[in-house]
Structure 1
Amino acid sequence: MTVLIPKGALIVSCQARADNPLHGPVYMSAMACAAEAGGAMGVRANGVADVRAVRAVTSLPIIGICKVWDDRFPVYITPSFENASCIAQAGAHIIGLDATPRPRDGEPVDRLISRIRTELGREVFADISTIEEGRAAHASGATYVATTLSGYTEYTATQKNTGPDLDLIATLVSELPLPVVAEGRFDTPDLVAAAFERGAHAVVVGTAITNPREITRRFVRAAQARMGNRGS
Structure 2
Amino acid sequence: MADLSSFPITKKWPAKNPDIIQLYSLPTPNGVKISIALEELGLPYEAHRIAFDTNDQKSPEFVSLNPNGRIPAIIDPKGPDGKPIGLFESGAILVYLAEKTGKLIPADAAGRYETLCWVMFQMGGVGPMFGQFGHFFKFAAEKVANNSYPMERYRDESKRLLSVLEARLDGRQWIMGEEHTIADIALYPWVRGADVFYGGREVLDYAGFPNVMAWLERCLERPAAKKGLDIPART
Q: Could you say whether these structures have the same fold, taking a TM-score greater than 0.5 normalized by the shorter chain as the test?
A: no
Q: TM-score, normalised by structure 1?
A: 0.33
Q: TM-score, normalised by structure 2?
A: 0.32
Structure with greater helix percent? 2
Higher relative contact order (CA 8 A, sep 6+): 2
Structure with greater strand percent? 1
Q: Which has the larger radius of gyration?
A: 2
